[in-house]
Amino acid sequence: MVRPYLKFIIPIVIPLLILLMPLSAFPFDGLTLIQQRVIAIFLLAALLWVFEPIPIYATSVVIIVLELLMLSNKGLILFRLNESQPEFGQLLKYSDIMATFASPIIMLFLGGFFLAMAATKYRLDVNLARVLLKPFGQNPKYVMLGLMLITGVFSMFMSNTATTAMMLSILAPVIAVFGPKDPGRIAFALCIPVAANIGGIGTPIGTPPNAIALKYLVGDNLITFGEWMAFGVPFVVVMMALSWFLICSLYKADQQRIELTIKGKFLKTPKALVVYITFAATILLWLVGDLHGMNSYTVALIPVAVFSVTGIINKEDLKKISWDVLWLVSGGIALGLALDKTGLAALVVHSIPFGDFSPYVVLFGAALLCLLMANFMSHTATANLLMPIMAALGASMTSLSALGGEVTLILVVTFAASLGMSLPISTPPNALAHATGYVQSNQMARVGVVLGLVGVLLSFVMVAALNVIGFIG
């Protein structure tokens, strides 16, 4: 157990030591002063999120402020004295850093919050819980399975964040049944983000890394929507079963039966009808994005406008929004921005001599690197950074051809990008679940680390099997 004072000292001392080290002490050729500062900020954030000496959302605010002071073109002049020197590096635009507070993903969160608040206010969540969970009986583990299956299916076709926000609103009356110290609370809070993160792997549109991967799967390596689902859905089913078993084993509910007495009926007032119609329309618009041309972020602001204009969500309701979650996510986005725009992430990736290793080491190494990065920065940013490198690496390494070539490498790395879910900042669904207060960071990490590693191994076995039968490669 770490002593309380060390929780403050360690996160401060280690980044300071990084800042004081000469550039020649780092194992990266061409490292700049700006990139050195990003390493220090990255370590500070990681240590603060691990030890939690300050609230987790406060760490995100610290990240953004430090980036503005130390990395931006409008930062403290002390940190810009050597700007003209070649080893200084490229400063970030202050507006780009500040824009993380209003990133599209933040708007998606806001739309999810408005939907959840309206659903709770007009008892839509309670009635959905009553209808959707009824077939799964009263055993807690089967009720949880029901929640996971519903979440997994929705997340294959719509935003994982929106799915999580919707399902967590359904979850509230279910968790209320458990005692305050019942591990079942943790299990139910964890199952939703886990199912959302895994479910998105099942289709090319389920999660951004999948869509990014398709850009490089063309020509002879082309994989159609149906072909992706042919191996993506079985992977999701197996991972969903493993995650359900793991969560049930680690956080077994003390209560043997859940007496779900969810009573009531759908309200029929004008405002309630507006909530129902807006809720259904928003989900439908998320599902059929190709037909209307709007992305999920644009659609997310429709319920914000409708509920604000109609008074369904008033200024008192606005005070109840989990603003700390929005800060938490914006900090993760800002950290990914610094890693990407300063070139540090690319420098680290290119510094690893993949070509000198066996194809098995390359596959596992690339997947594990992607998994690690995806836990600390946006899955989309991770995929955007690694995918072109992996495509080029797969095409150039003749030793990989026996394992399916670049298709195998791209798919394994793509799956790894979506399996990074060990921390509250790893994915928006994780942040939403953490915001409920039912699950702590260390509890999330226990499940996320195991599923991430098992998922990487499973994806390797699955893709190798598909290559043997000639389905890919």
pLDDT interval class at 206 (50, 70, 90): confident
* Distance, CA of 447 to CA of 232 (rounded, Å): 21
The predicted pLDDT at position 198 comes to 93
Q: Which amino acid is at 271?
A: K
Whether the predicted pLDDT of 438 surpasses 90: no
* Distance, CA of 363 to CA of 372 (rounded, Å): 14
The predicted pLDDT at position 262 comes to 59
Contact at 8 Å (CB) between 113 and 322? yes
Whether the predicted pLDDT of 473 surpasses 70: no
The predicted pLDDT at position 156 comes to 81
Mean pLDDT of 192-212: 86
Q: Is 345 exposed, middle or buried (0-12, 13-18, 19+ CB in 10 A)?
A: buried
Mean pLDDT of 390-408: 68
Whether the predicted pLDDT of 306 surpasses 80: yes
Q: Whole-angstrom distance between the N-terminal and C-terminal Cα of the chain?
A: 49
Residues whose CB is less than 8 angstroms from the CB of residue 422 and which lie 6 or more positions away in sequence, other chains included: 375, 444, 445, 448, 449, 452
The predicted pLDDT at position 40 comes to 94
* Distance, CA of 60 to CA of 283 (rounded, Å): 30
Contact at 8 Å (CB) between 160 and 194? no
The domain locations on the chain are 1-93+323-351, 104-201+233-318
Whether the predicted pLDDT of 404 surpasses 70: no
Contact at 8 Å (CB) between 271 and 310? yes
Mean pLDDT of 111-129: 79
The predicted pLDDT at position 383 comes to 80
pLDDT interval class at 432 (50, 70, 90): confident
* Distance, CA of 113 to CA of 432 (rounded, Å): 10
**Percentage of the chain modeled with pLDDT above 70:** 91
pLDDT interval class at 452 (50, 70, 90): very high
Whether the predicted pLDDT of 142 surpasses 80: yes
Tens of pLDDT along 440-451?
Answer: 888 898 999 999
* Distance, CA of 18 to CA of 42 (rounded, Å): 11
Mean pLDDT of 188-211: 87
* Distance, CA of 197 to CA of 208 (rounded, Å): 11
Whether the predicted pLDDT of 1 surpasses 60: no
